[in-house]
Amino acid sequence: MDILAELGGGVWALAAFLVALSIIVAVHEYGHYIVGRWSGIHAEVFSLGFGPKLISRRDRRGTMWQVAAIPLGGYVRFLGDSNAASAGTGQAVSAEESRHTLDGAPLWARVATVGAGPVFNFILSALIFAAFILLRGVAVETPTVGTVTAPLPGYANELKSGDTILAVGGHEITDWGDIYAAADDLPEANSHEWRVLRDGSEMTVAGPDPLPPVIGGVAPGSAAAAAGLLPGDVITDINGEPIRRFDAIRRHVEAAQGQSLNIGIRRDSIETDVTLTPKEQDIPRAEGGFEKRWLIGITAGSYFTPATQSVGPIVALGMGIMQVWDIIASSLTGMWAMITGQIGSCNLGGAISIAESTGQAANAGFANFVWWISVLSVAIGFLNLLPIPVLDGGHLAFYAWEGITGRRPSDRALNLLTSIGLALVVGLMFFGLSNDLRC
């Protein structure tokens, strides 16, 4: 049965991965296509997948839209190309048709067309992030209670929606950070005194620990995600020892040093347990650099959510763009740290780990799956901008050379650099796959 369960989980992860990849690639290639069309470059084929075509239709502009048998990406083939989008010149064209080929288009049109793929990935992600912000709102600055959930039996939670938090355990509260800071000075207890403003009157009520052992978030690809933990789960014990606060989870994980942990959880009034193994990961330090820590991939939650306020679409879009930039910046930081040896090479994952993470995100619910698609879309857009021949960034580097020198790289140089770039990309893919199997 375990083998069947693992097989079923693998099939589900692969299916979720293919759906996510198809969406991301479709948007990426549509960016190439539509900007190329606007720039006067004719697309002969727009394909989702590779290999034999399954279904196809030619539009009035002469572009063949098709779905192919191998759902591992896609491509746009422009007039004059021998293969996919952004490939070099291939089939011969007439002088009149040359302007409508990628190779024969003006430099600005080639730059715009090739760069549009990654840009459309970023746009997709920014729009998804903005949609989440519009739907969920943002936490109000003044610490105010939103929705309240019941704690474990024997623990108090008299907080109500709309309460403004003034103090916890005698510690004055002015912002959300003060609540978590107060937790460091509070003893472990079934309840603490919370002073709140309710309906215009100050009162003291019994409330939970500011940092209870509640899971707020689960990182795709983590030990917790692999074990099936979900946001909202309450960790009741680890290896038989009762857990009262979230920081106790950290202590147990660190002390295990990579050994398996038996974790008791409570979910929807049902208690069960799971076994998982912490992973050692490189974590950025606030003062710069990285440190190695044992993690299971969860963030702290609470028995209540912050009250939220709505924001307009412009503000939401701006926040979505900032989230895209944050992912790009962290990717740059991580890449540089790996190149300089600050972090281990196991941080580079391959298709297997990405597929597993995608399946775990899908298991966590539709919203988590959509959010994960937006993260992957940024990552794919970023990787495509790397200045490696065969990637969009490599072609943009060639165009930069042309713009600076006034001449294109020679065919010999292009062929040599493209071969090197292809070998590098294939090598990185196999290296990532080997990391998936050994790390």
d(CA 53, CA 106): 32
Residue whose C-alpha is closest to residue 210's, from 250, 260, 157, 162: 157
- Mean pLDDT over 271-280 rounds to 93
Judge whether residue 402 has pLDDT over 70: yes
The model's pLDDT over 177-215, given as tens digits with 9 standing for 90+, comes to: 899 888 888 888 888 999 999 999 999 999 988 999 999
Q: Which of 6, 29, 141, 271 is catalytic?
A: 29
Judge whether residue 87 has pLDDT over 50: no
d(CA 194, CA 143): 12
- Mean pLDDT over 101-112 rounds to 93
- Mean pLDDT over 143-162 rounds to 87
User: What does the DSSP assignment read for 94-161?
Assistant: -HHHHTTSTTTS-HHHHHHHHHHHHHHHHHHHHHHHHHHHHHH-EE-SS-BEEEE---STT------T
The model's pLDDT over 319-376, given as tens digits with 9 standing for 90+, comes to: 999 999 999 999 999 899 888 888 888 888 888 899 999 998 998 889 999 999 999 9
Q: What pLDDT band is residue 2 in, cutting at 50, 70 and 90? A: very low
Q: Domain residue spans in the chain?
A: 114-137+310-439, 139-207, 215-308
Encoding tokens for residue 286?
Answer: 């606030």
- Structural fold of domain 215-308: Pdz3 Domain (2.30.42)
Handedness of CA 371, 374, 380, 382 (dihedral sign): negative
Handedness of CA 37, 41, 47, 49 (dihedral sign): negative
According to the model, what pLDDT value does residue 436 have?
A: 86
Residue whose C-alpha is closest to residue 289's, from 336, 323, 328, 331: 336
d(CA 215, CA 231): 5
| CATH no. for 139-207 | 2.30.42.10
Note whether 139-207 and 215-308 share their fold. Answer: yes
Contact between 416 and 409 under an 8 Å Cβ cutoff? The reply is no
Residue 162 burial class via C-beta count within 10 angstroms: exposed 0-12, middle 13-18, buried 19 and up: middle
- 158 tagged catalytic: no
- Mean pLDDT over 261-283 rounds to 92
According to the model, what pLDDT value does residue 95 have?
A: 61
According to the model, what pLDDT value does residue 294 have?
A: 93
d(CA 109, CA 34): 12
User: What's the whole-model pTM score?
Assistant: 0.86
**Mean residue pLDDT across the chain:** 89
